[in-house]
Structure 1
Amino acid sequence: MSLPAPQGVSSPTFKAPPLDGSLAFPELLDYNAIHSAKHTLFRYDDLDNGGFRTISWEEGVAAVHTAGHYFKKFIQGEAPITIAILANTNSITYFAVITGLMRLGFIPFPISTRNSAAAVAHLIKSTDSRHLIVSRDPSLQKVADTVCHQFWEAEGGDKITTIPMPCFNDLFSTKPGRYEPLPSVHPDWSQTAFIMHSSGTTRFPSPIYATHKHLLHHAVRPYYGDVDLCGQVYGSQSAAMYHVMGFISITNSTATGSIMACFPPVEPPVKPTAEHVLSSIINTGTTIVATIPSFLVEWARNPQAVEALKATTAVAYASGPLEKEAGDTLVANDILLLSVYGLTESTVSLVLPNSIPVEGWEWMKVARNVDVAFVPTDEQDVYRLYVKDGPLHSPAVLDTEIDGVKAFDTKDLVQLHPSNRKLFKVYGRADEQIMHSTGEKTNPVPIEAGLVLDKHIAAAMMFGRAKFQPGVLILPTPEETFDPNDTTRLAEYRTSIWDTITKANEQAPQHSRIYKEMIIVANPAKPFEFTVKGSLRRKAVLKAYEQEIESLYKTVDEASETDIVIPRLWTLKNVVTMVRDIVTAVFQQNIGDTDNIFLAGGDSLTATSIRNSVLRAIRKSKVVPVAVIRALPHNFVFDLPSIAAMSAFIHGIVVGACAALGAGPATRNDEADEEGYPEIDSVPDLGRSLVKLRERGGEPPLIMLHGAGGLYFEYVFLAEKFRTAVWTMTVTPDTPLTSLREMAAFYFAKIKAERPTGPYRLASYSASSVLLVVLTKLFEGNGDEVVQAVILDHFPAMFMYSANKFGNPDPRVAENIKMMLDAGMSAIGDMMDRDAHGSTLRRSKNLLLEAWNGGPANEISRKSVGTIKAYLTAIAEFVYDLTTDETGAASMELMAQWMRTIKAPITVVVAAEGSVKSVAEEDREMWADLGTKRFLPDARVVFVKGGHYEFLTDDSVIRLLQEGY
């Protein structure tokens, strides 16, 4: 067969090596060092050197021989010997290590750093390795120690020799021509040259042996493509050298003269994130981008990234499916987008076609040197793919026969194009393996088998193709069936099966773990479909729940799986605690505050989980606007890969947001007495009585009055929820708390200074209901119009109800006011306990009660308690003076007469579990509306669900507050 794409025919620096079998792969390295000495082997980022530096073939091969001599000091015995590698290092150093071992005649076996100690021990034992090269980072050193100990115990005293991974400078400091060449080597073609391993989606990964014949087939493969790769800058940034995508870049460069573009050879190595890879593509002038789908999805949404990719020759992706929207966007921008299909055991698709098939970018052609068989399935146009043994390409694994020829069963299902049968695309796995957008794979079979052992689960089916992480559809047993729209029941059911899921997660690879929020419970109206044999009809079930699955992933994009306690006080210490809890929950083990989470085994999925958890916590805290959260760097976990670094960054974001909103002490760094602080979202700037949470042109803002504590933390979330302007009042040292009338006059002046003319919109919360009426009367008495007056979960008559319970005592008598204040504080505590947020409010309650009773307290605790006492006393005195009649009772009629002079429309919102529960049970029927209609028959009363605190965030309440604006 003729070679369609000869390589390097016009290159002045590269002479293509002989690929006729006269030289084995290790010999090709020396050939290039002699005949293509000045040709570039590597480019890597170096902004101080104009963007990149280069390493020539003669320099690279000098490092290969230097590496060989380094390892000869540690390895006893004659070749071939298998040498395992467990290292987190840069690609250039890894190249020299792999090829140096091969040049010695040894068999390199690179092992993924994502494997557990048990999996590494299994691989070493199954390949009879007795030497393990380990990098210096503590996490891998710990794995190596565990492996060596397990091996020593299991093998009756046999030992594994560990070898330190050399650094870049150890290998690349030797000048070409000044090193001692290694003895020549010419291995047999059937001899094992290289070992890789499978992904380990079953119990343990399996070794895959490639002979020198296989390596030659890898090397010759580009010659059956469409493009001369010589001089092309091939992007090797995305794939590790222990992955087949990384290793192929070595064989391609050796055979064709393509240039490997890599990250700089630094330690620890640069993490391949979408941002880092794109930057390196630009810096090194990468012309052929080889990457994973998840990066392409991110780049497709970034106009700057799209512009950078337009300058390349081609963009190829592998290791998983690509979302159609992202692919369409790239192709629409004239980017040559190529789908590549291959496995560790065998390559399949054509190397670098020169155009996209007219049928679509998803479709691929089989390489001209590869012989395949498409075996029909029971689905139209869907075939099981087999790769046959042949003279030009032989799979590393031959596990079956097709038409009398040995073949490799890929276990992949492919779809042939209906009109062009030479084109195919991946349809799925015959064994239902799920391919994620990260290139990682989940085998759902053992996980599902473990889940159905639970007595609450009738069936389980995992999903997650083309997504970052998997989820699971659960069919409850008949006695457990319920409507999943019942959120309370859903939470209970998830909790009931969580122990079983935890056990399944313990046996699954990290990227295959199921998070609590990734559980979809079947709707009784949409039952699962089963085959005659009783197995799930996967395609039908996935189709039926397609909408639920997509909705779930959209939700997860803004949330996470961890139930983390969110700080009410955002000190740096508390932020560190929160981030530490998040990282611990994601890793399911403790990580040091200064440890690099990626050296500890983190990957893109764990980074996503940590990021989502952090963003969820910040969003739920209501101290940072959504616009700020959305603007946070997508890769901040990669850029700040330790608990300490992330915490400092997050604390800075919160401090900045609080400063913009006028908050201060909530984020202070002085933590000597932090444990005594009340847990609140923000503490007001002591110099500002009026805080503008959100401005919008000249429209009238809604002015929120504070509750008994004098703070505005309950309203911070309105800055992001509201579409109209919203201001809030807060107590400062200047606020006159000795008289309610003086306080109202003070606020009146502050509002007038900011907004001299009306109309005005007011809302009160809790104990500020009377203050709202007094302030409204001031505005209306001044000739101003109050167009909206909303009283949230309170009504002035409630003060009369409480006073009459005690016989309407004179609040100016010390023992009387103490009794009344204690009762008021007790009511506040009861409402905190009843609220859905009770667990997070309980500490605030305890701190306030300690300060209330004269216990140890810091400045903020004392000030909060002082404000509550002064404010409630001023209200009690005002209500007593206003409503006490000649009999000494608080007169309902006097209160009604006073309130009915208001012109503004009044709306009262009543929370079902809020203030109304402070009324004695025998009186609740009469006081169900908090007494509103007895005083203001024309007032509007709105009943909502929730407790005294949680109802504020209800969407219906927020809409009500914005009515007409």
Structure 2
Amino acid sequence: MENLPLPPTPQGVGSKTFTPPLLDGSITFPQMIDHHLELSPKHPFFRFKPTASSSSNYDDLLWGDVARAIHRAARFIREHATSALTDPTSVPVIAVLSAADPVTYFTFTHGVIRAGYQVFLLSHHNSPTALAHLLVEAGTTHLFISNDLSVRNIGRAALDLLKINQPGYSLHTCGFPRFQDLYPSAESDVGFEPLMPMETPSLDSTIMILHSSGSTSFPKPIKITHRSVLEWARIPWYGGSDLCGEVLGMHALPWFHAYANMVVAGAATSGFICAIFPPGDRSPPALSPVSILKEMVATDCTVIISVARLIEEWACDSDAVAALTRVKCVVFAGVSLKQDVGNFLSSSGVSLTSLYGITEAGPISKFFPASPAPEDWEYFEFSHHTAPFLQPQEDAAGTFEVFFPSISTHTPAVLNANIKGKPAYATNDLVGQHPKNPALYKIVGRVDDQIILSTSEKTNPGPLEDIIKYDPMIKNAVMFGRERYQNGVLIEPKKEYEIDPADLEALASFRNAIWESVERANAYGPSHSRIFKEMIVVTNSSKPFLYTAKGSIKRQLTIDHFQEEIEATYRAVENAVQTSFKPPVTWDYASVLEFVRKVVFSDLGHELKDDDDIFQHGGDSLLATHVRNTILHALRENGISVAKITQNLVYSTPTILGLARYVSSIGNPSNADAVEDRHTRTRALEDMVTKYTSDFPIHNPTALAPASEVVLLTGSTGSLGSAVLAHLVTLSSVSRIYAFNRKSRDGTSIRQRQLKSLESQGLNANIVDSPKVILVEGDTAAKDLGIPSELYDEIRNSITLIILNAWHVDFKLTLPSFEPLIRGARNLIDLALASPHPTPPRVLFTSSISVVMKWDGSCAVPEDFAKHTTVVADMGYGESKWVAERILQIAGEVTALQPVIARIGQISGGANGFWNQSEWLPCIVRSGQVLGVLPQAQGDVSWLPLPVAAIALVEMRNSPYGVIHLCHPRPVSWSSIFTHIASSLGAEMVPFADWLRRLEGSLESADKIQVEEANRNPALMFLDTFQQCISVADSGISFRDAIGFPMLETTRAVEVAHSLRAENLNQLRAEDVEQWLAYWRRSGFLHPVQLLV
């Protein structure tokens, strides 16, 4: 038996008619109904306006009345369902398709449950095709259809489709009982006998099936358990006040929907009264905002449960507003209330409350807060029976995606994610935190509503659409732009402001009239989300937006509905050019530079420096299109071929100088060689990304999340890999590590290589024999990683994390030489997506500072994806890392994968001083013994000790951010390190340029062949690198370290990795330097004598 804790806010205190049931999990909701039949029979359950002949203000149905009717319904259903069952051991699934009044509907559906069956609530607003799909998907055995003409027609059409498409499917149809069949007169009810007490069912057995709205595709059945309904019933006990005796106006709610069922469940534990339209054959008035509010007033409602659409209509009627001020609370849910409407009502004295609930997770906001601040009407507080996990959004401060882990007091009906080892429901909802009260949140959009442009930038349309919809001329707005270069917006005008969109003059006038509202949205959103006037698509009532039964927009279906108009808008914009600028008379560089300046300045709206990045100064994708089209137009006017100009002209050369050089090379081919090289390189990088980002597999979870972490670590025999392996073995949460490496060319076994690497760092070599460690030799570029299929399946079925660490380090190779590693990265992505776990294993990629080596921004390199090839170092190694980053970024956007890219700066020595002597820094140190001098450089370095780098990297595996920098967050000066090294070696410190000249001179004056001199003075192997450092230093580019490497931002790194925080990590000190020197001397890299000159 469950033993759930008693919630904090008792209900029904002091009531003479209501006795709360047990809430500890010992009884289920249908047993609560039997409880009230015995202990609360005189307490009102339903309230409605009386008949004309009645002298009372309203009529009540008591709990005793309803409970007896539910027992009658259960008998009725058993008689009709049991006789038709072919398998008496199976549990019937009883579908209900009905437009019956709320009392009859509730009574019948709970009669199904009391009979021990599963009830499937169907919306009669579905299409016949959707209904047929749902009936089969849920395994329906019986369909009860009410006698309403429209319902019968839709049901008959769905059944006809089933006969055609599912000829062997067995489904029994039955008629729906009338109100008077379930609620006979007192005279006819003399012989009533209750059913036998029911056995307590498993809390995890299905009681009810609801379905999604089908706003993006076919609706899906959602199974609701006894546990879920019990949690719904307990929700008032987590609220702010005793609701017993309160009258909740529920006239606006459809009773096949989760909203009504979640609310009404609370009546069984709190004793509030549900006000509804009268039951039976009395036809309700035509449903309108006026008639609904009139019924609420007539039944003395103290709380109104409604939807935003109705509240917005009431706000336009002063009498309605006055009526709303007289109730204690007006609740809205489902769709956000327009902010201007909410502000107006709140300032008028209406007490508004936002309710947050989801079919898949139940009601999850406090029901209701005790004394909410009027100005916070759009915010809610999570109910304390839940434990929401809020994942920050990288591109929106204070915005979070909401997850609900399964806990003892809250078990979502759908579990599709894993949070900290617990199954959870990923809502896809985005919430914004209150700026002053961190306990309050509001819905701001959905993750799956996010528009990902072709530039990979993201737009969250919800807040922008809300701003646009405040315009008095606009009924609704839907933004579009997925996989396009620019956003647009569909506008549905209010009836009185409709136009003919084909009338270009009227269209221009309407766009101008609403432009101020669109500009407010543009000011609110990021620059890449900007909507241009040409991208406003206006609709009219002859082709309206598509809505769900609860009044929310079917977003994707609406966008699909207007695809023809959207395509026409993009074509018009793509063909737009600026013809006001005369093309250059001659196509020399100076003339083209002046022409490009004018074009860019005009589109941008302000001037900028010729070498400024256009996109960092307000440029966006629409500007890129305008500028490219204008340049093409000018070239064509002069009869110049534009065949070589690519679609991404402005993206690949995002400065006025770059554009001018390239365009002048087209107009004057003698200038073309250098520019062509740069474009060829860009195309090669982008082609490689395209090659490895097509046809990602779909993640199809089939198993529960594992209880422990299992890691696939590639490159475990390298310096960082060994340190990471040694740290992973110490973690209790990690049960297994597959240490994956390529076969050695010289035949050395993986065991020998792993032992040697661990011993060289002074790490515990015995971990090779740990039961946690499995050494694997393979090839990530090969099919199934080049390992036996049984082992591949074992890895696929168990891993929770992939650390992609293996990468060949050779700064002289070109991009094609790294393609096997890039193919290996894609294979590991596919491996992750083939995982059976609810969430695919994260891929943690050790990238490199070389990806952003040419960064020239006005700040340190941000912890974000590097979208442009212009920042990548001109070498195959950095280019290959950039390609891998982009592949992972795209995979994270279009699949369930959540990659983390750790962009690594310089890693310094290990715990015993180990520092790979083939790296550039040890080679500089060796040059001090050969040349007698060491370089002095101005500035800082942010080298991170190897043991800390390993720990921090592992800490980053659960990062909410896609990109993190792994370097020392508290740099030290170059001189503080090299002064100590020079003193230890007896070398002289000279300016970096002087040291470089001596290094170059040592090669020119050497009597020995160059290879021998390089062995003696290995710094010569990095001569090109050191020459580039001087070039960068002379360029005056800001935010560079002592030898010209870009400075990396580390805010996110320090947030995620505790080992990088100041209390856990010292700055580099003399003791560290001494350890390096001692190691190099022990290894023979440095000679005991100080100088070799």
TM-score (norm 2): 0.43
